[in-house]
Amino acid sequence: MELKMNRFVHFLVLIVLFAYSSLFASEQISNTKILAKGFRGKEITPSFIVEKILKSLPDKPCSVNFQTLDSLANAYSYFTESQQPFVYIPELGQLITIKRGFWDIDRYPGYTGDNTKNNLFIRYSTDWGQSWSEPILVYKVPVGTQFGNWWARYPSVFAFNYDGSPAYVYTAPATNGSGWVGFINGLYYQDNFFSSFSRSFTWKDGNRYNWGGTDSRIVGGMDGGEPFAMAVGTIMIEGGLPLTLTSHLGYRRTTDFDKWTEVIPPQWEASNFVVPSSPTGDDSLRTSTIAGFKFADDGNLYMAAYANFAAISSFNRFYFGVSKSTDLGKTWSSFDIAPTNLFDAYLQQYGLSVSNVFWQLPQFVPLGNDNYSFLVNINEDTTKTFRPYEQALHQLVEVYKQDGVWGVRKVADLSGYVLAYVAPTSTNQLGEESQLVRTDDGRVLVAKWVDFVDVVVGDTTYKRATNDIFVAVRRTKDNFWSSIKNITESFDYDRITWLPDRVPNSLTNIPILKLESIPLPETDPRLRQRMLDTVPQYVKLGFFDVVDILGVDEPQANFDLTNIKVYPNPMDDYGFVEFYTEGSVNLRIEIYDLLGRKVKDVFNGLTSAGFQGVSFQTNNLPNGNYTLVISHNSQKIVKQITIMK
């Protein structure tokens, strides 16, 4: 298969080979502004002797045949988990990516065209990535205006059908070279682009607020007869104090694509999250962040947060919560919060608890009808458990809600190591690069990540010599994840990898992007692969299949409930029921008052397998004593609870 590529790519290679300069051009490290964000894994570099051995071996061909799609000034176009640079839009039949340009005018001041690293371009494909459009300019820095130093970084894209033509909407955090200044928002429609800018704003409480962090997720569509777009983000009071106003979440929405209106929904206000404990000098202290923002098949919008929720403040931990909109983002529900002890129950089988495990910022997929999944990286904190790092727990797990029941499933074991990059801005911002996506019909979930592998040469095993891309799949009706599949198996470093948010139902010819440093003859290619900000990059595109690892779910038998817990007790506004079962069971949970009258149906349906939990609200019940009844087949478990607000 041959991809139709931009002819300019090959010209750029010649320019780079003969004119590349090592002059540093500043980039801004991404910032999601969160307290206790989590440990991403140990950054390591294979030793010099391993590098030397691998260089002497014959090339090992990649399982995926990557080909060059485009070129970039550096790797920072696709380099944070809080963006969506690669999407599939079913109503248009288009696969779309958004990227920055190639030329760095700090290195090449004589360049006068539009293809610079501060501008934005989209490319689209109508055949699942087999061929692509030329790059389309959608944002150009408005030199000579007050926004003449608003340079785009970490962009996101979405698209929809507007009066028979594709409408592409985008947003990106902007830097002026010394810090983050706000967000660029825009529309590209019928060969024209319309850009606008969001920075500080005054909210109804009279305070001035800034958009915090680099979250750039966006959606769009038709609201009646009007087009709209909407982006979400973290919001902090100017100056960072008081701490009671640093953890807002909010959105900006438009229907005219000139003015984007800022809104902090009541359900997302900082009062819904625990107040941070103390100020910090880097303006990064907050107790809420965004884990995802997407449409589901039911037509509703879902926003996922990873936060220390005030409603369960007695636990003082970060948890997963989901807020839903049924009116295209204008109003939002309270957060549906996962049972707080569910993660402890899962970790107890490994002799651990949430207090000695790092939970990495999750990836999120809503499936509709209040069903959703998070993909989460967990790493044991060996400074607390005193175990050798290689013997510690390192996993990808799925935290999910299915048919009213929350649960935790193991996806795969990890090495716990991630690739170290070369200074000056060397932080590995993507960690293990985990992603959770779905098939277009929503029947299968696909997890992708990057991990280190050993290389055997003769009788010698070189530990963690290189890294590869791995995938696993799960039918949404099944209880367990498939075996894992290494889709690259090469000596190359695989890094900055992206799947689209939806993949083909057939699980064949799945497109995947990754970045590679453009090679220079005089530089070790493996060393150059760890250089990001000062080195131009290829955008590579490949395809892989995973239908071969999609197994058959085992038939279900009758299973009992064990490890049943009801907490907290007394309850205020929220309660949780936690349990374990080896397979799917029919379950009913009800609450009765002291006169035997049923006052609340908590749950009635089919569970999955594993450690699970049901969350429920009690704010509509008066203070007092109640009976909670859990029924399954011949089992009936009765728990006495107290509601006290």
Structure tokens at 181: 């200044």
**Predicted pLDDT at 460:** 87
pLDDT of residue 358 exceeding 50, the answer is yes
Nearest to 86 by CA among 61, 122, 51, 116: 122
Helical (H) or strand (E) element with 525: helix 525-528
Question: What is the percentage of the chain residues whose pLDDT exceeds 90?
Answer: 64
How far is 224 from 572, CA to CA, in rounded Å? Answer: 40
CATH number at residue 626: 2.60.40.3080
Is 628 within a domain? yes
User: CA-CA distance, 311 to 321, in Å (whole number)?
Assistant: 11
Residue with tokens 């003015």: 259
Decide if pLDDT at 515 tops 70.
Answer: yes
- The two three-digit tokens of residue 470, written as one number: 């791995």
pLDDT value of position 38? 62
Tell me the pLDDT of the chain averaged across its residues.
88
- How many CB atoms are closer than 10 A to CB 23? 10
Is the Cβ–Cβ distance between 495 and 467 less than 8 Å?
Answer: yes
Question: What's the farthest any 2 CA atoms get from each other in the chain?
Answer: 86
307 bridge partner residues: 288, 319
> In the structure, what pLDDT confidence band is assigned to residue 562 with cuts at 50, 70 and 90?
confident
Is residue 270 in some structural domain? no
Asked if pLDDT for residue 255 goes beyond 80, the answer is yes
SS3 letters across 200-222: CEECCCCCEEEEECCCCCEEEEE
* Tally of structural domains, the chain: 1
Q: Which of 34-48, 63-77, 158-172, 194-208 has the lowest mean pLDDT?
A: 34-48
* Cα 236 to Cα 284: distance, rounded to the nearest angstrom: 10
CB atoms inside a 10 Å sphere around CB 109: 8
Q: What is the pLDDT of residue 511?
A: 97
Q: 574-581 and 610-617: which strand pairing? A: antiparallel
Pairing of strands 42-44, 417-419: parallel
Cβ atoms 102, 128 nearer than 8 A? no
CB 562 within 8 A of CB 549: no
Identify the residue with better confidence: 47 or 352: 352
User: In whole angstroms, what is the distance from residue 424 CA to residue 178 CA?
Assistant: 15
Of residues 171 and 312, more confidently modeled: 171
Tell me the average pLDDT across 148-156: 96
Task: Provide the residue range defining the domain that includes 607.
Answer: 562-643
Give the tokens for residue 277. 């404990």
**Buried b vs exposed e over 312-334: b needs ≥16 C-beta within 10 Å?**
beebebbbbbbbbbeebbeebbb
Which residues, 6+ apart, have CB-to-CB distance to 185 below 8 Å?
169, 170, 171, 195, 196, 197, 198, 229, 231, 252, 254, 257, 260
User: Is residue 198 scored above 90 in pLDDT?
Assistant: yes
Higher pLDDT, 327 or 27: 327
**What one-character DSSP code corresponds to residue 596?**
S
Does residue 51 lie within any of the structural domains? Answer: no
For residue 42 the two structure tokens come to: 């140990």
Look at residue 614 and tell me if it is in a domain. Answer: yes
Query: Tokens representing 367?
Result: 């499936």
Residue 473 tokens, joined: 């799949």
**CA angle (391 as vertex; 390, 393 as ends), nearest 5:** 95
Q: In angstroms, rounded to a whole number, what is the distance separating the alpha carbons of residues 575 and 45? A: 46
Look up residue 553 and give its two tokens. 């779910």
Share of the chain above pLDDT 70, in %: 92
Q: Is the pLDDT of residue 591 over 50?
A: yes
471-499 residue pLDDT tens:
999 999 888 999 999 999 888 899 999 99
Q: Can you give the pLDDT at residue 424? A: 64
- Give CA–CA dist 539/561, Å, rounded: 50
> Can you say how many angstroms the Cα of residue 293 is from the centroid of all Cα atoms in its chain?
9
CB under 8 Å to 348, separation ≥6 — which residues?
A: none
Q: How many CB atoms lie within 10 A of CB 406?
A: 24
Q: If residue 72 lies in a helix (H) or strand (E), which one and from where to where?
A: strand 67-72
Beta-strand runs (E) in 557-621: 562-567, 574-581, 586-592, 598-606, 610-617
> Distance between CA 45 and CA 418 in Å, rounded?
9
**Pairing of β 624-632 and β 586-592:** antiparallel
Is 34 a domain residue?
A: no
Q: Is the pLDDT of residue 136 over 90?
A: yes
CA distance 365 to 158: 16
Which of 16-25, 218-227, 278-287, 542-551 has the lowest average pLDDT?
16-25
Cis peptide before 61 (omega within 30 of 0): no
56 vs 168, residue with greater confidence: 168
Distances, alpha carbon 181 to alpha carbons 153, 218, 285, 424, in Å: 11, 19, 18, 22
CB 265 within 8 A of CB 250: yes
Spatial distance between the Cα atoms of 464 and 481, rounded to a whole number of angstroms = 25
pLDDT at residue number 284? 52
Q: Identify the residue whose tokens are 């939970």.
A: 359
- Encoding tokens for residue 29? 């490290």
DSSP assignment of 424-488 equals SS---TTTT--EEEEETTSSEEEEEEEEEEEEEETTEEEEEEEEEEEEEEEETT-SS----EES-
Q: Note whether 270 and 246 are within 8 A (CB).
A: yes
Question: In this structure, is residue 630 part of a structural domain?
Answer: yes
In angstroms, the CA 305 to CA 232 distance is 11
Report d(CA 516, CA 251) in Å as an integer.
34
In a domain, 380, yes or no: no
CB neighbour list of residue 240: distance below 8 Å, 6 or more residues apart: 246, 279, 283, 285
Is 619 among the domain residues? yes
- The SS3 call for residue 53 is helix
The total number of residues written for the chain in this structure: 645
Q: Which residue has the tokens 């003449």?
A: 148
Q: Are 537 and 71 in contact (CB under 8 A)?
A: yes
Q: Does an H or E element contain 344, and which?
A: helix 342-348
SS3 assignment, position 127: coil
Q: % helix / strand / coil in the chain, to the nearest 5?
A: 10, 45, 45
- Categorize the per-residue pLDDT at 626 as very low, low, confident or very high, splitting at 50, 70 and 90: very high
Distance of CA 93 to the CA centre of its chain: 23
